Chain A
Amino acid sequence: MKPVLSTQPPCLVITLAVLAVSACATTANNPKDPLESFNRAMFSVNEGIDVVVKPVAKGYDAAAPLPVKVAIGNFFGNIWDVWTAANNLLQGKGQDAVSDVGRVLINTTVGIGGVFDVASEMGMTKHTEDFGQTLGKWGVGDGPYFYWPIIGPRTTRDSFGWLVDTYYDPVWRINDVPLRNSLAATRFIDVRASLLPSDKVVEDAAFDKYSYIRDAYLQHRRNEIYDGTPPRERFDD
Chain B
Amino acid sequence: MQKMNLFRENRMKSFLSLLFGLFLVTTAVLAQDRGPDAMVRQVTEDVLTVVRQDKDIQGGNTRKAMELVESKVLPYFNFQRMTSLAVGRDWRTATPEQKKRLSEEFKTLLVRTYSNALTSYKNQTVNYKPSKLQASDTDVLVKTEIVQPGSKPVQLDYALEKQGDSWKVYDVIVAGVSLVTNYRDTFNQEIRNNGIDGLIQMLVNRNKQLETGKK
Report A's interface with B, CB cutoff 8 A: 30, 66, 69-74, 77, 117, 126, 128, 194, 197, 200-201, 204-205, 207-208, 211-212, 215-216, 219-224, 228, 230, 232-233, 235-237
Contact = CB atoms under 8 A, between A and B. Distances in A.
B182 interface: yes
A114 to B, nearest CB: 11
B176 A235 contact: no
B91 A216 contact: no
A211 B178 contact: no
Interface string B48-74: 000000000000000000000000000
Given A211-B186, A237-B85, A194 B116 contact: no
B5 to A, nearest CB: 56
Contact of A201 (B87, B88, B113): B113
A204 B212 CA distance: 12
B150 A235 contact: no
B141 A219 contact: no
Given A205-B109, A232-B141, A237-B91, A71 B116 contact: no
B210 A73 contact: no
Contacts, number: 83
Interface residues of B, number: 37
Contacts of B178: 219
Nearest to A206: B186
A73 to B, nearest CB: 3
A197 B117 contact: yes
A197 B120 CA distance: 6
A75 to B, nearest CB: 9
B89 interface: yes
Contact of B186 (A77, A212, A236): A212
A222 B176 contact: yes
5 contacts: A197-B120, A204-B112, A208-B186, A222-B176, A237-B89
B206 interface: yes
Closest 9 pairs between A and B when the two form their complex, measured CB to CB = A223-B176, A73-B150, A70-B150, A197-B120, A205-B113, A216-B177, A70-B149, A237-B84, A219-B177
Contacts of A237: 84-85, 87-89, 91-92
A235 B88 contact: yes
B151 interface: yes
A73 B151 contact: yes
B214 to A, nearest CB: 9
Contact of A128 (B91, B152, B177, B186): B152
A68 to B, nearest CB: 10
Contacts of B85: 235, 237
A178 B53 CA distance: 45
Interface in B74-122: 84-85, 87-89, 91-92, 109, 112-113, 116-117, 120, 122
A72 to B, nearest CB: 7
Most buried by B among A30, A117, A201, A221: A201
A115 B183 CA distance: 39
A235 B181 contact: yes
Contacts of B183: 207
Contacts of B210: 204
A228 B175 CA distance: 8
A187 to B, nearest CB: 13
Given A66-B149, A216-B182, 17 more contacts: A69-B150, A73-B150, A77-B150, A77-B152, A204-B112, A205-B179, A207-B202, A212-B182, A220-B175, A220-B177, A221-B176, A222-B176, A223-B175, A223-B177, A230-B176, A237-B89, A237-B91
